[in-house]
Structure 1
Amino acid sequence: MRPALPIAANASPAAGYVLAFVATAVAVIVAAAAERWLGLADLSLVFMLAVLVVAVRTHTGPALLTAVLCFLAFNFFFIEPRYSFYIHARHGVATVALFLAAALIAGRLASQLAMQVQALRIANLHANARQALAGKLSVATDASGVVDAAESVFREGLGADAWVRLGDDCATDQGGGVEEHGWWFLPLRAPSGPLGVIGLKLPPSSTRLDAMQQMTAKAMAGDISQALQRTRLAGELETTRMANETERLRSALLSSVSHDLRTPLASIIGAAGSLENYGDAMNDADRRSLLDAIRTEGERLDRYIQNLLDMTRLGHGELVLHRDWIGVDELVGAAVGRLQRQHPAARFVARVPQEMEPLWVHPALIEQALFNVLENAVKFSPPDAPVEIDAHAIGNAVQLDITDHGPGIPEDERARIFDRFYSVARGDRGRGGTGLGLAICRGMIGAHGGEVEALPAPSGRGTTIRITLPRIEPTP
């Protein structure tokens, strides 16, 4: 790619003055040819054109020199008496004088206009380079991305190889740039201290940068410094956020463990102690009651530990799907059967169409997800109100709506009930819950490509948890 603006674009000053002599010689030749073969009388226009050409291609000094040389050449070769600087007639003196004045003025104006055009072109190229840098810096997410963007833009936009080094120990103490041995060094600074240094390698033909190039390089260095500050601040905020999130989860986990592990353990230990100390004095009904309590609390403890293990596997991406065909009615029946063993008084109404096709899923995981939702619904349904389970085929997916008739969940909190350890007196935290059941349900359903959402119950009282599972055919 051709660089938009080479850093070393400064032409040698002597070249402009050489062009002045060449342009004058060419003007003499052209004027002589025009006079001999074209019969052109006003040859001053040829020399005026030479002055304008030099003026627009160089700067004021060569343009003025060309005007003087063309004046002398016009006088020497084409004003009577020829081959002499002596002017015989008054009108000849006026002609050459006016020519000199016009040439000087035209050369001056043309040179100024050319320099303004060149300055505008350079300013536009520098603005484009800064715009390109801003675009690449805006998408840089870390310090390495900022460095890559800086090196790319300096190379493509300004034609200079850039070298960026980050760190407090490599920042120069100079307030501006330092030029030495073909390099231009600029510090990258922030209010909190130096960030690093950026070096631009100058081409061998250039010894230093002009004022415009220095100003653009400093402005781009400032943009790079701001981008580095932004990425550093974003990294610090992310680190702080992760630390806060880790602390929050740790506190929630400890709180949950302290309650949900100690409570069943205390019940198991108490029941076992009673059997040990007073078992011989108890009747069969009392002993059976204590054994049932031990079994129930042990199963509760097992479910909690299983939930923790499932959440760990989900969090680390270690959940493996072993798919198989299973009917929706089988999934619902298995989950309801497990729950009724733990809550004999719970009531369920399941509506699953007989013609509903089976699903290609991991049966144990979907059953566990459905069990977690049903367990949560049982906790919040009144004793006289059943939990309703409705299955529907919607396009190429199956929807399972689990509806309770409890107090419901406010709209602004429905999405949050699927967060781990969500600590409000609703959802599965409500009556001795761990805050993991619905989170695990979302993870298991999500692993199958499905979705879980909380909706208001159709009756206006309670909550509907909708599970949507896509129909997937097994790969041959």
Structure 2
Amino acid sequence: MTARPEPPNEKPSPVIGSWRGHLFAVTVVAAVTAVTVLLEVWIKNYNLVLLFVLAVVITGLKYGSRPAIVAAVLSFLGFNFFLTEPKYTFEVSQRDELATLVILFAIALICGPAASRIRSQILLLQERVALTRDLQSARLQSEMEQLRSALLSSVSHDLRSPLAAMMGAAESLKVLDKQLTPVDRDDLLDTILQESRRLDSYIQNLLDMTRLGHGTLKIERDWVSIADIIGSAVARLRRYFPGVKTEFLAKSPPPLLYAHAALIEQALFNILENAARYSPADECIRISVARQGDTCVIEIEDRGPGIPEALREQVFDMFYAVAEGDKKAQSTGMGLAICRGMIGAHGGTVRALAGTQGRGTRIVVKLPVDYPSSPAGGLPPEH
């Protein structure tokens, strides 16, 4: 048996809605009339008019203009019949009461449609809010799907590529053991070593991304020298890119930072690795550090193809990579995103700017130079 489809949500019939509105108009005007008859002993007639106007406005807000007009007419008749002399007739003997009736009818006719328009605008606003919420939900779902797709694609490529190279090199060593020359054997071993380091770097970035996303990245601070951190990051870079050229410049005495040394090193390494991937082999990566007030400024500049100004913020998005040709396959698009997360966890900022000579990219990292007064932090050591 096939399941019977559920009927679509049906809106109330216009006839039923109009009937309900008119019934509401009769009911609310009758209630107001009864109240005004009881209050007439203490309150003047021209003050009781406001209760009828209120009934018309409520009807207009709830059911629209036509029931509001019905309420206006009924208010006019009810006020005339029960509250003007001679009572219980539709005659009017006093001019001021006639003026009150005319004003009541005019105000009611104006307020009723106005309340109806307000009601329509409120309903339209509610619809827009609901539509905006649905669009935001759909956009969020789309972004999640794109992120999931990018993650799967990245994991598939960046895990399988080095594994395939390592397996191929290891299989060649095993199958062609006696046929390989010492040079060929060293090349295969170098391939295994380089691809294993590449795989290790990728897994480290993946773990860092997970910890950043779940807020479990621990910041165990201590006093560290930014010059030592940069030196460690550069030494690590040379293990992955033996031919890379770097140049270090201290524009002022490098300050001490109260930070997590390993996280800052990983952040700077990701920037350096990105610069090494996109820089020409014969170009130098320039690293400078300076203290500006209570801020440590680190600049890493390459001479690569550069990043278009419109994309300089997007490069810090997860899985976003600006590259061309074969280089794009070597970039996971996680390095700079993780870098911003690690620097941000220390209260710092990361920006991508144009190179100083119109070429390449300059990444500017700013970290606060904190001097905590708590016993746990203490003062910076003398150096």
Task: Specify the alignment match of 1:299 in structure 2.
Answer: 197
- Tell me, yes or no, if the aligned pair for 2:252 and 2:290 is still in contact at 8 Å: no
Higher RCO structure (Cα 8 Å, ≥6 apart): 2
Distance 1:378 1:245 in 2: 30
Letter of the structure 2 residue corresponding to residue 472 of structure 1 = D
Letter of the structure 2 residue corresponding to residue 364 of structure 1 = A
Alignment partner of 2:167 out of 257, 263, 269: 269
- Tell me, yes or no, if the aligned pair for 1:423 and 1:429 is still in contact at 8 Å: no
- Tell me, yes or no, if the aligned pair for 1:60 and 1:107 is still in contact at 8 Å: no
Distance 1:421 1:320 in 2: 23
- Tell me, yes or no, if the aligned pair for 1:445 and 1:469 is still in contact at 8 Å: yes
Task: Specify the alignment match of 2:100 in structure 1.
Answer: 111
Distance 1:320 1:300 in 2: 25
Q: Which stretch shows the higher mean deviation, 397-406 or 282-291? A: 282-291
SS, match of residue 442 in structure 1? helix
SS, match of residue 266 in structure 1? helix
Task: Specify the alignment match of 1:254 in structure 2.
Answer: 152
Q: State the 1:289 CA deviation.
A: 2.7
Identity between Structure 1 and Structure 2 (%): 44
- Tell me, yes or no, if the aligned pair for 2:252 and 2:291 is still in contact at 8 Å: no
Alignment partner of 2:229 out of 331, 336, 353: 331
Alignment partner of 1:394 out of 258, 270, 292: 292
- Tell me, yes or no, if the aligned pair for 2:162 and 2:198 is still in contact at 8 Å: yes
Q: State the 1:387 CA deviation.
A: 0.2
Letter of the structure 2 residue corresponding to residue 444 of structure 1 = M
Distance 1:414 1:365 in 2: 23
- Tell me, yes or no, if the aligned pair for 1:19 and 1:54 is still in contact at 8 Å: no
Q: Which stretch shows the higher mean deviation, 243-252 or 446-455? A: 243-252
Task: Specify the alignment match of 1:139 in structure 2.
Answer: none
Distance 1:388 1:19 in 2: 90
The structure whose Rg is larger is 1
SS, match of residue 353 in structure 2? strand
SS, match of residue 246 in structure 1? helix
- Tell me, yes or no, if the aligned pair for 1:359 and 1:471 is still in contact at 8 Å: yes
SS, match of residue 162 in structure 2? helix
Task: Specify the alignment match of 1:153 in structure 2.
Answer: none
Alignment partner of 2:271 out of 373, 393, 416: 373
Distance 1:116 1:262 in 2: 81
Q: State the 1:16 CA deviation.
A: 7.8
SS, match of residue 281 in structure 2? coil
Alignment partner of 1:245 out of 115, 123, 143: 143
Pairwise mapping of residues 128-167 of structure 1 onto structure 2 (< 5 A)? none
- Tell me, yes or no, if the aligned pair for 1:64 and 1:107 is still in contact at 8 Å: no
Q: State the 1:371 CA deviation.
A: 0.4
Residues 5-46 of structure 1: per-residue CA shift (max 9 Å, x gap): x996555464588689xxxxxxxxxxxxxxxxxxxxxxxxxx
Task: Specify the alignment match of 2:308 in structure 1.
Answer: 410
Pairwise mapping of residues 348-387 of structure 1 onto structure 2 (< 5 A)? 348-353=246-251, 355-387=253-285
Distance 1:318 1:428 in 2: 35
Distance 1:274 1:248 in 2: 38
Query: Is 1:346 matched with 2:244?
Result: yes
Q: State the 1:291 CA deviation.
A: 1.8
Q: State the 1:57 CA deviation.
A: 6.3
Letter of the structure 2 residue corresponding to residue 410 of structure 1 = P
Pairwise mapping of residues 10-89 of structure 1 onto structure 2 (< 5 A)? 10=33, 12=35, 14-15=37-38, 60=80, 62-65=83-86
CA separation of 1:15 and 1:308: change in aligned 2, threshold 3 A: closer
Q: State the 1:239 CA deviation.
A: 2.8
CA separation of 1:56 and 1:243: change in aligned 2, threshold 3 A: closer
Distance 1:240 1:433 in 2: 29
SS, match of residue 402 in structure 1? strand
Distance 1:351 1:428 in 2: 32
Task: Tell me the TM-score normalised to structure 2 length.
Answer: 0.71
Task: Tell me the TM-score normalised to structure 1 length.
Answer: 0.58
SS, match of residue 421 in structure 1? coil
Q: State the 1:254 CA deviation.
A: 2.6
Letter of the structure 2 residue corresponding to residue 309 of structure 1 = L
Task: Specify the alignment match of 2:53 in structure 1.
Answer: none
What's the RMSD between the two structures over aligned residues? Answer: 3.4
Q: State the 1:313 CA deviation.
A: 1.3
Alignment partner of 1:447 out of 337, 345, 361: 345
Residues 209-246 of structure 1: per-residue CA shift (max 9 Å, x gap): xxx6x995x77765564454334323322332122112
Number of positions where the alignment pairs a residue of Structure 1 with one of Structure 2: 312
Q: State the 1:341 CA deviation.
A: 1.6
